[in-house]
Amino acid sequence: MTSLKKPPTMSDVAKLAGVSTMTVSRALKPGASASRATRQKILAAAETLGYVLDSTAAGLSSGKTGFIAATIPSINNGNFADTVRGLTDGLAETNLQILLGYTNYDATEEERLIEQFLRRRPEAIVVTGGWHTDRCRRLLEMADVTVVETWDLPENPIDEVVGFSNANAAKVMVHHFHDQGYRCIGFIGGDTTHDPRGLSRRQGFVAALAELGLETKRLVAAGRPPITMREGASALRDLLAKWPDTEAVMCVSDLSAFGAMTECQRAGLRVPEDIAIAGFGAYDLSEHAIPPITTIDVSAYELGKLAAETIIRRAQDAGARPAKISRKIDPQLIARKSTSRAE
Amino acid sequence: MTSLKKPPTMSDVAKLAGVSTMTVSRALKPGASASRATRQKILAAAETLGYVLDSTAAGLSSGKTGFIAATIPSINNGNFADTVRGLTDGLAETNLQILLGYTNYDATEEERLIEQFLRRRPEAIVVTGGWHTDRCRRLLEMADVTVVETWDLPENPIDEVVGFSNANAAKVMVHHFHDQGYRCIGFIGGDTTHDPRGLSRRQGFVAALAELGLETKRLVAAGRPPITMREGASALRDLLAKWPDTEAVMCVSDLSAFGAMTECQRAGLRVPEDIAIAGFGAYDLSEHAIPPITTIDVSAYELGKLAAETIIRRAQDAGARPAKISRKIDPQLIARKSTSRAE
DNA sequence: TTGAAAGCGTTACCAG
DNA sequence: CTGGTAACGCTTTCAA
């Protein structure tokens, strides 16, 4: 559809409607201060010409781009997608548009993305987690916008935080296992170098076991995050090969848990009678699997919603607002059959 | 992090480096035509000031925003996420940024999104499917950019097409069922009013059955797309309640197929011995489920990659290029245990 | 309610 | 390789 004529501008519309560009500009805004009549003329002229406002020019002139930048580790992940949905829904009343990027669980890629996004002059930035490259952190600190870190509780936040404790979530799960009578408990996660949240869960897992006086050695790192069903499956094989007496396994995500569980079933092990399996993230999958899989709900959608609220609040406080306010969510255990010890 | 000082501009950098803004502008570009020495000075000055290029201004001035707009029906869908990944990867060499939006399978919401995106003056637009509101179509036609419709083969394309025939994909599945000896075959999909691709699959399903001289009545509409595992499960109950002699079921997606399959298992029906189940989309899930689920791979990632190639090609042909070239992909059947008739 | 003028920060264009 | 100047299309600001 590449024609040659230049697209109409506001002054074309103004000319056709017989008014000034300023009047057009105002008539096109929501809270239009223009008389009914002129506004009709203007709208008609715009329609005739096929005029579309140029936000690039508007943004340059007004100093407001209407962008919110957000980075998530992976776009192909229901949990992060839920957070983005929450963010979008929370921003629906505003005219803010989301500039979404995914980092592939790579801090360097995150840095690259943030650098790109900063050029767009977003009015706020939402990032996943509190672990960034030094340069990335510096960029975020120097950027003159609200920064919201989510999905974690960074010890030293850049600005605002809307998250939860991954370590504590793992602890909740360990206690659930313990309550059910399991004592030899393993953990399946990804390599610990790329997924800080996965690492926190693993650390929380180990710490909780230690507190209970249980063995903490049954840890398998299954590859580069995000780990897949396949990696969950092979990790389970590895785990049982090394520690055959393992009674229960916590997986870093529902997907890997499902992979691990089906691997058990293929191997003739009954879940939960022979081995218990739990996941993380409260995917639909864990609810519908047979047996249903115990998991942790971190309220991913809510996280996005709260991030949006935070951004809006900060925008209204126009200007100064140094306080670093955390919105903390408590992950909820969803106990299901997959970890219910046969009496 | 809201400070009061205005962020540094290019002219601040120029001043500090003792050159003109033009030299700064050039030195900051990839193919920099600036002497080693001045460029070092400039980079140093930029670093000192914490300068970040303002793409808004750059875009206004150059007439190139560096945006590619893309809309998908749902962000929480592995298939569409794969297409976005393909698009991103395909665009990696360029400096183009993706402006992503999701429509919730709602043509009106798509129209709203496209209208918003158009204001950002994207250099190309990728949309899912060929079914738009009249106004949305008009907007896309009048926009002076490459438009790529994906995930379908519209009869009357707006511009470029990178897709596949959903109807034909369903036909392939029907023939697979037929080859396996199944004759009483049902279809589970969402309401037909919101998902044109789901509707095409259903129509292709019916047409293929009719060609084979089989009954075409076993159709269940399970709710607003995208249909979930739960809806797949309840739809299966409905289907069997109405037509108890059904031997096989094609589902509009792998997720609903999984829901349907687990529902069978809960009801004590063996898959595939008592009933065959197939899905659509080649999710990991269908590979790891027990039994593994027969599905169709539509090469979602490839679709995005090809869309990117199309966009790049059109950008190079600078200007005229009226031809509507389709990149057609052939969906591949992945036959698995869930539809393998016990001999 | 409307308009005129002055930018917003960058790059295109043309000189040197 | 470098610099001056004029846009780019809009909104801010100040007047009327």
C-alpha A300: how far from its chain's center?
7
Question: To which CATH superfamily is domain B10-53 assigned?
Answer: lambda repressor-like DNA-binding domains (1.10.260.40)
Count of Cβ atoms closer than 10 Å to residue A316 Cβ: 8
**Do the beta carbons of residue B163 and residue B310 sit within 8 Å?**
no
Distance CA A49 to C1' D12 in A: 26
Confidence at A168, pLDDT banded by 50, 70, 90 = very high
CA A189 – CA A232 distance, rounded (Å): 8
Span A160-174, average pLDDT: 97
In angstroms, the separation between the Cα of residue B209 and the nearest Cα of chain A is 30
Cβ neighbours of residue B204 under 8 Å, at least 6 residues apart? Answer: B165, B166, B167, B168, B169, B170, B171, B174
| pLDDT at residue A213, as a whole number | 96
Residue A49, pLDDT > 50, answer yes
Question: What angle do helix axes A229-242 and A254-266 make, rounded to 10 degrees?
Answer: 60
The predicted pLDDT at position A342 comes to 60
Q: How far apart are the C-alpha atoms of B266 and B48, rounded to whole Å?
A: 66
CATH of domain B166-297: 3.40.50.2300
- Angle formed by the axes of helices A300-316 and A78-90, nearest 10°: 30
Ranges of chain B whose pLDDT falls below 70: 1-5, 32, 318-325, 342-343
Best CA proximity match to A72, nearest among A98, A39, A51: A98
| pLDDT for residue A192 | 86
- Cβ contact B159–A85 (<8 Å): no
Report d(CA A326, CA A163) in Å as an integer. 8
Q: Residue A143: which of B1, B97, B146 has the nearest Cβ?
A: B1
Structure token digits, residue B271:
């898959």
Domain A64-164+300-330 has CATH 3.40.50.2020: no
Residue nearest to nucleotide C3 (CA to C1'): A20
CATH 1.10.260.40 in chain A, residue ranges: 10-53
- Set of chain A residues whose Cβ sits within 8 Å of the Cβ of B259: 288
Of A120, A228, A289, the CB nearest to B56: A120
Nucleotide nearest to A55 (CA to C1'): D10
**Model confidence at A287: pLDDT above 80:** yes
pLDDT of B320 reads 47
Alpha helices in chain A (DSSP H): 10-17, 21-28, 36-49, 55-62, 78-90, 107-119, 134-142, 166-179, 196-211, 229-242, 254-266, 284-288, 300-316
Joined tokens for residue A257 = 């848990």
What whole-number distance in Å separates Cα of residue B48 and Cα of residue B25? 17
**pLDDT higher than 70, residue A324:** no
> Which residues of chain B lie closer than 8 angstroms to A75, CB-CB?
75, 81, 84-85
Question: How far apart are the CA of B235 and the nearest CA of chain A, in angstroms?
Answer: 14
Residue nearest to nucleotide C8 (CA to C1'): A61
pLDDT of A275 higher than 50: yes
Least Cα separation, residue A83 to chain B (angstroms) = 10
Q: How confident is the model at residue A1 (pLDDT cuts 50, 70, 90)?
A: very low
Question: Residue A33 phi/psi, 5° resolution?
Answer: -105, 80
Interstrand relation of B248-251 and B97-102 (parallel, antiparallel or unpaired): unpaired
3-state secondary structure of B239: helix
Does residue A320 carry a pLDDT above 60?
no
Contacts of B88 in chain A (CB under 8 A): 102
What is the distance in angstroms measured between the alpha-carbon CA of B5 and the sugar C1' of D13?
21
A204, A191 in Cβ contact below 8 A? no
Give the bridge partners for A295, in sequence order: A334
Q: Is the distance from CB of B2 to CB of A320 less than 8 angstroms? A: yes
| Helix or strand (DSSP H, E) at B206 | helix B196-211
CB B83 within 8 A of CB A75: no
Rounded CA-CA distance B122/B138 in Å is 16
Distance, CA of B89 to C1' of D10, in Å: 34
Mean pLDDT on A158-171 = 96
pLDDT class of A326 with cuts at 50, 70, 90: confident
What pLDDT was estimated at residue B34? 75
Chain C positions within 7 A of any protein Cβ atom are 1-5, 7-13
A81 to B82: CB separation less than 8 angstroms, yes or no: no
Q: What single string gives the DSSP state of each residue in B99-168? A: EEEE-TT-HHHHHHHHHHHHHT--SEEEEESS---HHHHHHHHHSSSEEEEESS--SS-SSEEEE--HHH
pLDDT for A21: 94
Residues of chain B neighbouring A94 (CB-CB closer than 8 A): none
List beta partners, residue A276.
A248
Kindly determine whether the C-beta of residue A11 is less than 7 Å away from any atom of nucleic acid strand D: yes
Contact assignment for A284 to B255 by CB distance below 8 Å: yes
- How many Å from the CA of A96 to C1' of C1? 28
The pLDDT of residue A31 is above 80: no
Q: Which pLDDT does position A51 carry in this prediction?
A: 96
d(CA B276, CA A262): 20
Cβ contact A134:A115 at 8 Å: no
A184-196 pLDDT per residue, tens: 999 999 998 889 9
Mutate one of A47, A55, A230 to test the B interface: name it (highest B CB count within 10 A).
A55
Please state the pTM of the whole predicted model. 0.94
CB contact under 8 A, A228 and B284: yes
Does B55 sit within 8 Å of A120, measured CB to CB? yes
Q: Which of B56, B99, B230, B287 to mutate to test the interface with A (most CBs of A within 10 A)?
A: B56
Task: Kindly report, as residue ranges, where domains of CATH 3.40.50.2300 are found in chain B.
Answer: 64-164+300-330, 166-297
Tens of pLDDT along B199-256?
A: 999 999 999 999 999 999 999 999 999 999 999 999 999 999 999 999 999 999 999 9
**Distance of residue B208 Cα from the nearest chain A Cα, in angstroms:** 31
Helices (H), B212-277: 229-242, 254-266
In the chain, the amino acid numbered A273 is E
Query: What pLDDT sits at residue B3?
Result: 53
Distance from CA of A215 to the nearest CA of B (A): 31
Residue nearest to nucleotide C5 (CA to C1'): A22
